[in-house]
Structure 1
């Protein structure tokens, strides 16, 4: 498996990174299968540096906040109106109602829920969906809108992505034994943090420790948050390998 970080800025695109967007790749039937995980604000442009858009096989959206899905509008335009012809329909795993929601972001003249180009399938808490080489298991997590963490596994490796979440046992269960844990840390321990919204670096580290993961990758740090403080928080609960990710970074499993 290969993970490429397209965007990792928390809550909004920052000067050094778009909002959340990742590509997960693995061999499949003699070629490389490419799964796009989230497509947040500002990510569609940089995505084109790392992947031919027509080569994307499927999309998985953790939830329907702007910093995780609004650049689906760009993907829709390219996939429908490309001068070389429209793309084949792309499977999209997403929360219930994603098609109608994304039409609202794109524009009112599109009245078919983008279904010509995207085959939407709603997440089911605890269910596993097979896409190419990936078995993707969803877990409903703790956020103001329906939001899902996901475990993306091949026959030999596994990656867990927290999406956006406050503390929840669902994440602890999902992450157990994962080779790679891509976890948000939007808050710092010293802050007065609202409940049921995001994690601190210490909480991300605690889940990594409880789950016995191979490596922790910390993401979704907002521009206004001190990365050094997030890192200090991570180290207070986790003594394994870790990294605060940056846009453009790649990781091999």
Structure 2
């Protein structure tokens, strides 16, 4: 598996950046995980919109889905220009029907609901879900292929269930929207200490901090998390690639 970070800002994209969006590739299958604001403009440096094979959505906050409509129109226009490609499946939960219905657009995209208590097969990937602690229904994902495991927390404050869910993962892509002196629980987000302690207890091989704040000195998030976790810690960065 190869993970490429396209956008990593929390809430909204910083100038010239993008909010949540990650490209996961394996066996020539291209899966986009979340599709926040600015993702389509940035993604085209890596892959054309019509070459995506599937999209997987954690929840329906705008910083995770704002560019779904843009993606739909990109594929529509490329079809007008003579390109041929199948309907794109967009997987999301069905606990917000108003938003879920928007995943289907003409014959361009098709919204497919995942059942959080069941394993979802998407191309070469096997995905299991965990409901997070966030103001709206949101699901973390454990994605496995070829004996490797990636865990993406999506948006959440820390919960003990994350430990077993993430046990031994090769990579933990963990939201970190707050610094150690801040309590993000009421907002449904983690701070740097939460992320580090989570990674250490789960015994993951590498920790990437994402969904980053727009203020403060971001390298401090690493130094703070490293007081709890002794493994490799990095900040998510634009076009950062990690192969598992």
Which range, TM-score by smaller chain?
over 0.9
**Cα gap change, 1:98/1:6 in structure 2, threshold over 3 Å: closer, same or farther?**
farther
Map of 2:26 onto structure 1: 26
Alpha carbons 1:60, 1:92 under 8 Å: kept: yes
TM-score by length of 2: 0.92
Q: Is the CA contact 2:157–2:185 (under 8 Å) kept in the aligned structure 1?
A: no
Please state if 1:234 is matched with 2:225: yes
Which stretch of structure 1 is more off in the superposition, 53-62 or 114-123? 114-123
Greater shift, 185-194 or 197-206, is seen at 185-194
Corresponding residue for residue 39 of structure 1: 35
Deviation at 1:16, TM superposition (A): 5.1
Paired with 2:65 and 2:51, the residues of 1 have a C-alpha distance of: 19
Task: Note if 1:92 corresponds to 2:90.
Answer: yes
Q: Deviations over 1:126-164 (max 9, x none)?
A: 321111110011111110011010011013211010000
- The DSSP-based 3-state class of the residue aligned with 2:45 is helix
Any idea what the Cα deviations from partners look like across 1:63-105, whole Å, max 9, x if unmatched? 101111110011111222322246411111112166742777x
What residue is the counterpart of 2:189 in the other structure? 198
Does 1:116 find its partner at 2:107?
yes
Task: Give the number of aligned pairs.
Answer: 242
What SS does the aligned partner of 2:129 have? strand
Q: Distance in 1 between matches of 2:112 and 2:164?
A: 23
* 1:123 positional shift: 3.0
Residues 11-90 of structure 1: pairs in structure 2 closer than 5 A: 11-15=11-15, 17-27=17-27, 32-82=28-78, 83-85=81-83, 87-90=85-88
Contact 1:183 1:218 in 2 (8 A): yes
Match of 1:216 in 2: 207
Partner of 1:145: 136
1:230 Cα deviation after fit: 1.5
- Whole-Å separation in 2 of the counterparts to 1:224 and 1:161: 23
Question: In the aligned structure 2, how far is the partner of 1:156 from the partner of 1:187?
Answer: 32
* Residue in 1 that maps onto 2:240: 249
The answer as to whether partners of 1:93 and 1:122 remain within 8 angstroms in 2 is yes
Partner of 2:163: 172
What is the Cα deviation at residue 232 of structure 1? 2.3
Q: Over aligned residue pairs, what C-alpha RMSD do you find?
A: 1.9
Q: Unmatched 5+ residue regions in structure 1?
A: 105-111
Once the two structures are TM-superposed, the CA of residue 115 in structure 1 deviates from its matched residue by 5.4
SS of 1:209's equivalent?
Answer: helix
Contact kept, 8 Å, 1:13 with 1:19, in 2: the verdict is: yes
Summarize the Cα distance change of 1:103–1:73 in structure 2 as closer, same or farther, 3 Å threshold: farther
The answer for the alignment partner of 1:3 in structure 2 is 3
Separation in structure 2 between the aligned mates of residue 2 and residue 18 of structure 1, nearest angstrom: 20
Query: Whole-Å Cα distance in 2 between the matches of residues 237 and 126 of structure 1?
Result: 31
